[in-house]
Amino acid sequence: MEPEKPYYASIMAHFKKPYWVFLFLLFTVITILSIQISTESTLPFQFFRVSGSPKPDDVADPGSCAGLFGELPVREHVMSIKEFGGVGDGKTSNTAAFWKAITHMQRFSNRGGSQLNVPKGKWLTGSFNLTSNFTLFLEHGAVILGSASQDPNEWPLVEPLPSYGRGRERLGARHISLIHGDGLTNAVITGQNGTIDGQGRMWWDLWWNKTLKHTRGHLVEIMNSHNTLISNLTFRNSPFWTIHPIYCSNVVIKGMTILAPLNAPNTDGIDVDSSTNVCIEDCYIESGDDLVAVKSGWDQYGIRIARPSSNIIVRRISGTTPTCSGVGIGSEMSGGISNVTIEDMNVWNSAAGVRIKTDKGRGGYIANIIINNITMDRVKIPVRFSRDSNDHPDDGWDPKAIPKIKGIFISNIISLNSTKAPELAGLEGGSYEGVCFKNVTVLGLAPTAAWHCEFVSGCTNAVFPLPCPQLQNNGSSACCL
């Protein structure tokens, strides 16, 4: 299909060359100035500027959504885990050493901040908490290993999240994450590409054997916190979802490698949950579930807490997940999800590329979702809207709580070696409105393959193969402009 010419091409053709050159230069100058002005004044959010970071006009990477989060903060008090009795032999438990270190460093939260260095070695530990104005720094060759012991002292239980009402997998309490933070300000987890390995096989076996008593913990969970950076590390083998910011604002996750066996259950890469102003970029993820997911609470509990996820940018993510999707929105979305931009992704050997999941009882809303420039190879279903998971926290959910979905913009998608055409299954009484597909090509399908749509409405422009009747309007609708 011949691509559309830029809208200004026909206008410029009417000008003679000298005038064209002059106007082109003028247009370029105005465009640059307008970009500079809009960048400083209309960003949906900005991240805190740390000590020594560049000023706005010094930022070198205009393709970053990390805002003013420049250089790492300079902490006045820097110590090594060795100074607290840590032993990096891969055998000695360092749980007490990490707790001792964090307890000591809490006193510097308002006195210049602190940094705990983890040197080269294998540092076995159970769960430990972070503190505010604090950096956990893994040096080159450093590996933090999650304890493979089921000792309750290594993995204590904590209260269920208010927006879930219970543990996500089991009733009642849940196991704390390997690295946990609650009510933090200016917390950083970074390093020289060190590794945090959750050694999750013990937890996966409990799941597979159906002997899991409480919901598994995450590798890293940050709660009720403001200004969080996680960068330049490798995370491996999480017991459950790998990185879970919940009830947070101003979160940057960038330059991460996240790995789990492709059959490891529910080992999502990054799950943004009831959080605002989140930037996720430049990450490579292999997992047994969604690479990136956006959530906001579960049924009546999420509706009551009403903590939405909003102002989220996900860009330059690549990876594979054979059972789930490159990006999943929902299905726990009862607090609402809005203003999400997903762009420049590469997904392969996966069950779905982009998936939006809703259900009766969820309530909430999904609005203003922009998905642009996604390449896929050997992805079974490139785009899927799904329902009827029949997955509820308890019997108190309201079957009349139907999600509202409006404004889904999907453009510049190329999917090679696909198995199925897009499947768009909305909910009766809560149809998807304002769905736009533009410049979407799905190749490798059987000649009989066709889109499947129910309870959706919208428009398309430059889509192959031919979309479902609910979206066929030859690009005339304003929703795809």
Q: Would you please indicate which residues are annotated as catalytic (active-site) residues?
A: 289
The two tokens of residue 5 are 């010419």
Between the alpha carbon of residue 478 and those of residues 38, 220, 435, 474, 475, the distances in Å are 25, 43, 11, 11, 8
CB under 8 Å to 195, separation ≥6 — which residues?
Answer: 138, 142, 143, 144, 233, 234, 235, 236
Place of tokens 């909910």: 427
β-pair type (243-246, 270-273): parallel
β-pair type (174-175, 157-158): antiparallel
Please check whether residue 248 is in contact with residue 228, taking contact to mean a CB–CB distance below 8 angstroms.
yes
Provide the phi-psi class of 123: left if phi over 0, else alpha when psi is between -120 and 50, else beta: beta
| Other CB atoms within 10 A of residue 82 CB | 17
User: What is Dmax (Cα atoms) for the chain?
Assistant: 80
Please check whether residue 296 is in contact with residue 332, taking contact to mean a CB–CB distance below 8 angstroms.
yes
The two tokens of residue 66 are 């990390």
Please check whether residue 408 is in contact with residue 432, taking contact to mean a CB–CB distance below 8 angstroms.
yes
Between the alpha carbon of residue 101 and those of residues 118, 122, 187, 407, the distances in Å are 11, 17, 15, 48
Q: Sign of the C-alpha dihedral, residues 58, 112, 235, 295?
A: negative
Q: Which amino acid is at 368?
A: N
Rounded-to-5 percentages of helix, strand, coil across the chain: 15, 40, 45
Query: Exposure pattern of 465-479 as b/e (b: 16+ CB <10 Å)?
Result: eebbebbeeebebeb
Please check whether residue 364 is in contact with residue 393, taking contact to mean a CB–CB distance below 8 angstroms.
no
Please check whether residue 116 is in contact with residue 135, taking contact to mean a CB–CB distance below 8 angstroms.
yes
Residue 80 forms beta bridges with which residues? 117
